[in-house]
Structure 1
Amino acid sequence: MEELFSQIAGHVRGMWRFRWWGLAFAWIAGITGGFVIYSMPDRYESTARIYVDTQSVLRPLMSGLAVQPNIDQQIAILSRTLITRPNVEKLITMADLDPGARTPAQREALIAELTRGLQIRGAGRNNLFTLAYQDAHPERAQRIVQALVSLFVESGLVGKRQDSTSARRFIDEQIAGYEQKLGEAENRLKDFRLRNMALLGDGGRDYVSQMAELSAQLRQAELELKEAQNSRDSLKRQLVGEEPVLLAQPPNPLSVALPEIDGRIDALKKNLDGLLLRYTDEHPDIVGVRRVIAQLEEQKQKEVEAMRKVDTGAPWAPNANPVVQQMKISLAEAEARVASLEARVAEFGSRLAQLRSSAELLPKIEAEQTQLNRDYEVHKRNYEALVARRESANMSVEMTAQGGVTEFRVIDPPSLPNKPAAPNRALLMPLAGLIGLGAGIALAFLLSQLRPAFDNVRSLREIIGLPVLGAVSLVADPVLQKRRRRGLLAFGGGVAGFIVVVAGMTAMVQLLQG
């Protein structure tokens, strides 16, 4: 620490030798700085304040129905991104600054000047913004700030409309895409169901339900068939031993009345008429009934031919008592019912066997159906969500257009300044004085380093590395002491005069600005 103080003291003594050079340079630098500051052109600042009101009554009322964007964040971003080259070029046209920029170089310089000078200052979370610009001409500064206010409001409104339009266009494109995907998914699901209709059933029953239902129908049909067969056999046993009475021979064997066979044929035809009302000609029940009718007609013809061969003179129309005829009719109906039930049992058995043979394909079909249903449901859910969002966006646009969710209020219009805002000469004058003093001290230090001298024995011994035998002191006489005092007073007066001059220039500048 002692060595550091010794070095500092040595530098101070070395600078003291060149104090007059430093003082002179400080005066020159200070006076020059003062004249430069005084000659700086005045710049006038025009300001305007805008309040952005985002607290609309419609916002809480339409919550959950319309899109609620973060208006405060949008306004904050707008204030930071408003000063761009396209906006500055638009501002030049709006403020009528084109006549001053005829060449491309002048226009570029004007754009750069405006970009540096335009200011948008926020006031915290209150959405209160101050727009300011400084220019050498107060009227021009006012025009520029007025154009900036118009640009600020216009950019906020246009930005909201562009965002809404872009959002609606994007949603419409997504809806169109999902409509196509939904149609394709529906077609795939339809084709799959058509291909696997036998296994899928009517949509409300799965494979297991169909198997259970067909098994129950088959058991019921078999039970009814067994009951019909028992009833038929009972009728046959009752008719055993009955002999018909023959009448005259008809011209046509088919027109011969055989009550037993005719009754069965009539019953089958009635049953056939009822089946034709419900089924097509290819239905197994209808095919079976027609086959039985054909067999009965052939049997009738054979019996008539057999009776004709036995006795050519005997009558050909068998007849019996009414009870026997009624029993034969019942037997014919029982035969028809047995045939119908046999066809039904065969059909149900065939269907059940077909379902059982397709059991190996069931897991694959169910997995494919699950995948198709999942894709369809996802597309449908996304489509419905997009449609709902589009309606919400439309409602938000209408709400913005009708209710004015964001309102720009000009609190203070652009001012016409009558006093310069810059440069602040009252602050710059003392700063120029301090810079002048610093320049003088720096010059003195520089000269002391360029022309060093030894001011004590210790520094001389440390530098030359040789022992110093002694030193001769200077004994000042009264004349020399008096001269030193006058030099100190003159130097102090020079420093004090410099300070007084700087203070006077500062006071004069304040009076002129006031």
Structure 2
Amino acid sequence: MDELLRQATAILRGMWQRRWLGIIVAWVVGAASVAAVLAIPDKYEASARIFVDTQSILRPLMAGLVTQPNVDQQVMMLSRTLITRPNVEKLIRMADLDLKIDSKSERDALAETLMSSLKINNTSRDNIYTLSYRDVQPEQAKRVVQSLVSIFVESNLGDSRKDSESARKFLDKEIAGYEKKLEEAEARLKEFKLRNLANETSEGKDHFSRMSTAGALLEQSRLELREAEQSRDALKRQLLGEEPVLLPEATQEPIAGVSIPEIDSRIDALQRNMDAMLQRFTEKHPDVVSTRRLIKELEVQKQEEIVARRKSALANPTASVNSSPVYQQLKVSLSETEARIAALLTRVAEYQARYDRLKSAIALVPQLEAEFTQLNRDYEINKKNYEQLVQRRESASLGSEMDNAAGVDFRLIDPPRASPKPVAPNRTLFLPLTMLLALIAGVAVTFAASQLRPVFFDARALREACGLPLLGTVSLLADEARKGRERKDLLRFAAACISFVGVYGAGLLVFFVLSARTA
């Protein structure tokens, strides 16, 4: 500790020996720094505030129908990438900053200066952006900020339109490609169906289902054919006398199967006419009564005719059998049965041929089904992608129209305005710092001089510096004249220090007073 104190004391005594050099350097540095601060040109700041409204009632209403980008993120990214070289060069032209530029190097230097001077600040919560710029000319700073506001708004609209057009062109290109694929797939399906037209059905059944259906129809047709043949044989036996045909006797009541067509037709016509009249009239209506009477008369006439025919049949049995209505009806039934048998034979032959054809083609069914499944799968995949792309194109078009109707709204809260007073440099802060800088420079120069040309104040420091043995020391006794000179020198140094601080203080006071008056 004592050693450190001794070294510090030696350094301070050496600096004291160079005190006049330090005060001179402090005066020079102080004057130069004050002149430099006063020579800095005044800069005026122009600024504007913009509110970016990204909220719209259409966006929640169209949610799920259109593709909606993150507008807040887009605007934030735009604000961060706005100050680029192309935009700055455009700003130079818009603000007429290139009127006094003669070379490309000057233009590049101006662009670099603008890129470092332009400021865009925002509050992420409120979407309020502040654009500012400082220049020695307030009107020029205002023009720069006005141009920057215009570029800010136009860049967002241009990027939005560019993105929409790019997306639409990409979707149109992809849709055209899938349309071509669908046409090719449809052509392959058409060719396959035409080549295998015999194996196609309108019901959409597979081969085995069709074969099962054909077998069932064949068995049913065979059963119907056997039934018709049995019916035909029974009718033939009756007609050939193998089975007796019983005729009603004259004393019996009319049987239900005996009819007289001409009388029965009249009775049926009157019955239908009476049913129609009963819907409008009552039982006692004259027309209803008259119709009932005619029906009874016809029934009596029919009964008499049947009795007469029975008597004739008993008198001539052979003729009665051939002219019997039952016999005639059996012959008609036999003819109808034979016609039905012929039709059923044709049907059975057709179903048999169809069943045999399906059975012979059963070996090709797995191959055809595999080929059809592959073709259909490719077609369905392309069709699905095509429909999705068309849907997304419509969604993109609707989204573009929605952006045009309810896009981002830029509201100029504070128009570009230049400050009436300079905002830089801050001489109120810089001038006191020049005084501190001058004092630091004086102390540093004094310390450096004391180290470059050291002065030894005791024998120990000299012996340590030289590394030689010290034989002895010679002391100096100061007389009154020397002491007087030292006091005067101390007073002059104190006066110099006081005048330095006083001049700085007076200058700062005058500056503050003038600044307060101009404010």
TM-score w.r.t. the length of structure 2 is 0.70
Alpha-carbon deviation of 1:232?
7.5
Contact 2:47 2:417 in 1 (8 A): yes
Residue in 2 that maps onto 1:178: 178
Query: Which residue identity does 1:215 align to in structure 2?
Result: G
1:93 has 2:93 as partner: yes
The separation in 1 between residues aligned to 2:512 and 2:409, in whole angstroms, is: 42
The separation in 2 between residues aligned to 1:480 and 1:168, in whole angstroms, is: 99
Contact 1:426 1:507 in 2 (8 A): no
Query: Which residue identity does 1:420 align to in structure 2?
Result: P
Contact 1:224 1:341 in 2 (8 A): no
Structure 1 pair 354/133, CA: closer, same or farther in 2 (3 Å)? same
Alpha-carbon deviation of 1:22?
2.3
1:408 has 2:406 as partner: no
1:399 has 2:402 as partner: yes
1:356 has 2:368 as partner: no
Structure 1 pair 31/179, CA: closer, same or farther in 2 (3 Å)? same
SS of 1:121's equivalent? strand
Q: Which structure carries more relative contact order (alpha carbon 8 Å, separation 6+)?
A: 2
Structure 1 pair 450/333, CA: closer, same or farther in 2 (3 Å)? same
Of residues 372, 379, 397 in structure 2, which corresponds to 1:376? 379
Farther-moved stretch of structure 1 (14-23 vs 450-459): 450-459
Whichever of the two has the greater Rg, that structure is 2
1:386 has 2:389 as partner: yes
Contact 1:211 1:355 in 2 (8 A): no
SS of 1:414's equivalent? strand
Farther-moved stretch of structure 1 (75-84 vs 102-111): 102-111
- For residues 264-279 of structure 1, the aligned pairs below 5 Å read none
Alpha-carbon deviation of 1:35?
0.6
Contact 2:431 2:508 in 1 (8 A): yes
Query: Which residue identity does 1:146 align to in structure 2?
Result: Q
The separation in 2 between residues aligned to 1:22 and 1:389, in whole angstroms, is: 80
Alpha-carbon deviation of 1:40?
1.7
- Percent of pairs identical after alignment? 48
1:77 has 2:83 as partner: no
Of residues 403, 423, 426 in structure 2, which corresponds to 1:424? 426
Residue in 2 that maps onto 1:436: 438
The separation in 2 between residues aligned to 1:437 and 1:87, in whole angstroms, is: 47
Residue in 2 that maps onto 1:62: 62
Contact 1:49 1:131 in 2 (8 A): yes
The separation in 2 between residues aligned to 1:26 and 1:412, in whole angstroms, is: 47
- For residues 87-166 of structure 1, the aligned pairs below 5 Å read 87-166=87-166
The separation in 1 between residues aligned to 2:434 and 2:474, in whole angstroms, is: 44
Contact 1:122 1:130 in 2 (8 A): yes
The separation in 2 between residues aligned to 1:219 and 1:72, in whole angstroms, is: 76
Farther-moved stretch of structure 1 (30-39 vs 496-505): 496-505
Deviations 1:260-299 (A, max 9, x none): xxxxxxxxxxxxxxxxxxxxxxxxxxxxxxxxxxxxxxxx
Farther-moved stretch of structure 1 (217-226 vs 438-447): 217-226
Structure 1 pair 389/477, CA: closer, same or farther in 2 (3 Å)? farther
Residue in 2 that maps onto 1:187: 187
Structure 1 pair 428/197, CA: closer, same or farther in 2 (3 Å)? farther
Query: Which residue identity does 2:389 align to in structure 1?
Result: L
1:25 has 2:25 as partner: yes
Contact 1:457 1:468 in 2 (8 A): yes
Query: Which residue identity does 1:436 align to in structure 2?
Result: A
Alpha-carbon deviation of 1:460?
5.2
The separation in 1 between residues aligned to 2:186 and 2:231, in whole angstroms, is: 53
The separation in 2 between residues aligned to 1:453 and 1:192, in whole angstroms, is: 114
SS of 2:49's equivalent? strand
Residue in 2 that maps onto 1:277: none
Alpha-carbon deviation of 1:347?
1.0
- For residues 291-330 of structure 1, the aligned pairs below 5 Å read none
Unaligned runs of 5+ in 1: 243-320
Of residues 328, 344, 350 in structure 1, which corresponds to 2:350? 344
Structure 1 pair 236/154, CA: closer, same or farther in 2 (3 Å)? same
Query: Which residue identity does 1:388 align to in structure 2?
Result: Q
Structure 1 pair 214/467, CA: closer, same or farther in 2 (3 Å)? farther
The separation in 2 between residues aligned to 1:7 and 1:350, in whole angstroms, is: 126
The separation in 2 between residues aligned to 1:448 and 1:198, in whole angstroms, is: 118
- For residues 213-224 of structure 1, the aligned pairs below 5 Å read 213-224=213-224
Residue in 2 that maps onto 1:281: none
TM-score w.r.t. the length of structure 1 is 0.70
Residue in 1 that maps onto 2:285: none
Residue in 2 that maps onto 1:291: none
1:497 has 2:475 as partner: no
Structure 1 pair 346/91, CA: closer, same or farther in 2 (3 Å)? same
Structure 1 pair 346/233, CA: closer, same or farther in 2 (3 Å)? farther
Residue in 2 that maps onto 1:449: 451
Query: Which residue identity does 1:449 align to in structure 2?
Result: Q
Contact 2:44 2:137 in 1 (8 A): yes
The separation in 2 between residues aligned to 1:35 and 1:427, in whole angstroms, is: 15
Alpha-carbon deviation of 1:80?
1.9
CA-atom RMSD, angstroms?
Answer: 3.9
Structure 1 pair 397/361, CA: closer, same or farther in 2 (3 Å)? closer
